[in-house]
Structure 1
């Protein structure tokens, strides 16, 4: 499993219905994308859920690097770059994935928390902590799913979770889920990824 996210921060007075309309118009294009576990079409609005910015920030969990690369080098990502400027796509290697108790429900909110692996902490210990945190998040009331991944170039762990309600039991940045494309969600490997 590979995680990926790009963030497009928009002006404070940007009409976010443009983002909503874009997702409504073209979001279905990834509903059967080969190699994609899931794509959560995420948005933050300045002043809502504590967000200081307007931002479009989709989050992906990929089953295959071929699927991810086909997306990044293909027309969809090219169009995004033409519309908003080419964003930097962050990538993390999967550490853990779990379905939550509300797995059959629609995801309304997402929480992302990035944190560094402190100097002196053995990487294996940080990875085990991430696995435990993924399980804790997935067991939370209203959790749809939870995942953890690591960027070893920065030694940064990202925790990502989806929730069916607006009071998620997770710390981090809260996003509204506009849409979820999940053609390979059932093939995302559960539990620890090594």
Structure 2
């Protein structure tokens, strides 16, 4: 499993209905993308759910590098680049993935928490704890799924979870989910990735 996210931070007075309309128009294009586990079309809206910014930030879990590369270099990624500019695209190596207690439910919210991997920690224990946290999140009421991944260049851990309803039981940046493409969700490896 491989995780990826890019974000477009938009002006404070940006009409976020433009993003909603865009997603409604194009999201189906990845509903059957070979190599894709899931893509969440997510946004944060300034003043809604405590967000300080307007931001569009799709998050991906890939089953194959070929699928990700076909998305990035085969033309599909050029659409958002043309509309918003070329974003920094973060990539993380998968650590863990778990289906949630309401895995079949539509996702209403996503939570992403990024944190540094501290210097001096024992890496095996730290990553095992991250995998355990993924299990804990997925076991919460309302959880659709949970994942953890790490960027070994920046030594950054990311937890990503989807929630069906209510207040998500996870800390981090809260996003509204506009659409979920999940052509290879059933092929995402469950549990610890090592």
1:134-154 Cα distance to aligned partner (Å, 9 max, x none): 000000110000000000001
Correspondence for 2:188: 188
Kindly indicate whether the alpha-carbon contact (under 8 Å) linking 2:130 and 2:148 is maintained by their aligned counterparts in 1.
yes
**Correspondences of 1:161-180 after superposition (within 5 Å):** 161-180=161-180
Kindly indicate whether the alpha-carbon contact (under 8 Å) linking 2:4 and 2:92 is maintained by their aligned counterparts in 1.
yes
The change in CA–CA distance for 1:8 and 1:17 in structure 2 (over 3 A counts) is same
Query: Which residue does the alignment assign to 2:38?
Result: 38
TM-score, normalised on structure 1?
Answer: 0.99
**1:89-104 equivalent positions in 2, closer than 5 A:** 89-104=89-104
1:65 — aligned with what?
A: 65
Instruction: For residue 76 of structure 1, report the CA deviation from its aligned partner.
Output: 1.6
Structure 1 CA distance for aligned equivalents of residues 22 and 140 of structure 2: 32
How many residues align structurally? 194
Which secondary structure state, in structure 2, belongs to the residue aligned with residue 75 of structure 1?
coil
CA distance in structure 1 between the partners assigned to 2:8 and 2:170 by the alignment: 23
Which whole-Å CA distance do the structure 2 matches of 1:83 and 1:166 have between them? 33
Residue number in structure 2 paired with 1:124: 124
2:17 aligned residue: 17
Contiguous gaps of at least 5 residues in structure 1:
none
Distance in 2, Cα, partners of 1:167 & 1:125:
30
Other-structure match for 2:149? 149
Separation in 2, partners of 1:19, 1:79: 13
Match of 2:113 in 1: 113
Partner SS for 2:93:
strand
TM-score with structure 2 length normalisation? 0.99
Q: 1:3 maps to what in 2?
A: 3
Cα RMSD over matched residues? 0.6
Match in the other structure for 1:26: 26
Stretches of 4+ aligned residues off by more than 6 angstroms:
none
